[in-house]
Chain A
Amino acid sequence: MNTLEFTVLVGLGSLGAGFLGSLTGLGGGVVLVPLLALAFGVDIRYAIGASLISVIATSSGAAAAYVKEGYSNIRIGMFLEMATAFGALVGASVATRVSTAAIAVIFGVVLLYSAYLSNRSPRERQSDDQPDPLATLLKMDASYPTPDGPRPYHVHAVPAGFSLMFVAGALSGLLGIGSGAVKVLAMDQAMHIPFKVSTTTSNFMIGVTAAASAGVYLSRGYIDPGLAMPVMLGVLVGALLGARILIRTQTRLLRVIFGLIIAALAIEMIYNGLTGRL
């Protein structure tokens, strides 16, 4: 296989990953690393570097649209970003010191958990809502658009959310993914932020989190231009296509299918990691 053929195939694979990632809301990063490592035989370190780049591209691309709709909360995002950015620096620094087999196994476990999380339906919360003093002090309470006009919400459990965000950042830095599932878990479940606000704020944060580890990877030589080029462009085009089609599709079934793909990749990653093939 020459470079041209390799580039075209990686580009098409990335396009598919970006497409499914945006249709299901899981992001392309979770399938990219296993795809590159397992199907293309790319060393997991190059795969992580390329995936991280694509995560920034899709997050910024989607955030541009979300931000304008007024769902995402920039104060919550920026405050929690202190934890994710620090976590991402720690994660990326750890990644340059541990074996690729260990990374593969951790990746597999995180994939399995993401597949599980993403296939639970968000439950509606009753507004038990007493303002939380810390959230009030940090001016996090806001409102979001609904068909019946803006609906106000209160934010809770800021310290718990902050700690979970550190974990999300560390996983993002270690594995080159966006960790959207963990971010949404922290905001939706722990901090009781409405689901739409959680998902769009998570998207807002993903690009910043990924940028916080990109510098570490770049300076360690993990980001290869020849590989990152088709991955970034493919994922970006795929994500844009997915966003266009999103309105017309039944996402429930897609999420189940995508969840199964992720679970299969996860098991393969764990197996290959344990047998020392990655």
Chain B
Amino acid sequence: MMHLKHNWTDEQIEQIVGNLLRIGVMAAAVVVLVGGILYLIHSGTTMPNYRVFHGEPSDLRSLSGIAGDAFSRRPQGLIQFGLLLLIATPVARVALSVFAFALQRDRTYVLVTLIVLALLMYSLTGGRL
């Protein structure tokens, strides 16, 4: 990493971003798959009902609720945690870009990227307009 420290080129940033995306998607897919298998073992023989919209229970709606469910190894909480990892991947990419533009001393794009990051964080914490 030393040689990257002074001035990242756009190409180097793109390589790192590409790897970040790949790792994020793979990690999310593995967690969702494990959660999915447990979920099917647990409740594979019941009847699903998605015809009528009820909305998810509150523990599957918030970051803290999902984390709690995932760590107590509830299958649905585990899947939801994997989905959160997936949603976090583009967020992490944007966060990394803030850092990369800062190293390039590109103030305009640091600001641009921070605005995008703020919108993402607002949404992830449940905010709506």
Residues of A within 8 A of B (CB): 1-4, 6-7, 40-43, 45-46, 53, 56-57, 59-61, 63-65, 67-68, 70, 72, 74-75, 78-79, 81-82, 85-86, 88-90, 92-93, 96, 100, 138-139, 142, 207-208, 210-216, 218-230, 232-233, 236
Contacts and interface: CB of A to CB of B under 8 A. Distances in A.
15 contacts: A4-B40, A56-B87, A74-B10, A74-B17, A86-B119, A139-B106, A211-B120, A215-B87, A216-B123, A218-B84, A219-B62, A222-B56, A223-B60, A225-B80, A229-B32
Contacts, number: 215
A92 B80 CA distance: 19
A208 B94 contact: yes
Contacts of B50: 40-43, 46, 224, 227
Contact of B113 (A67, A78, A215, A230): A78
A217 to B, nearest CB: 9
A226 B48 CA distance: 9
Interface of B: 10-11, 13-15, 17-19, 21-22, 24-25, 28-29, 32-33, 35-36, 39-40, 43-48, 50-57, 60-62, 75-77, 79-80, 83-84, 86-87, 89-91, 93-94, 97, 106, 108-109, 112-113, 115-116, 119-120, 122-129
Contacts of B45: 2-4
Contacts of B86: 53, 56-57, 60, 232
Given A4-B40, A82-B112, 7 more contacts: A2-B46, A4-B45, A45-B53, A60-B21, A61-B22, A139-B109, A227-B48
Q: Ordered nearest first, which 6 A-B pairs have the shortest CB separation?
A: A221-B55, A215-B123, A219-B126, A225-B79, A4-B44, A221-B56
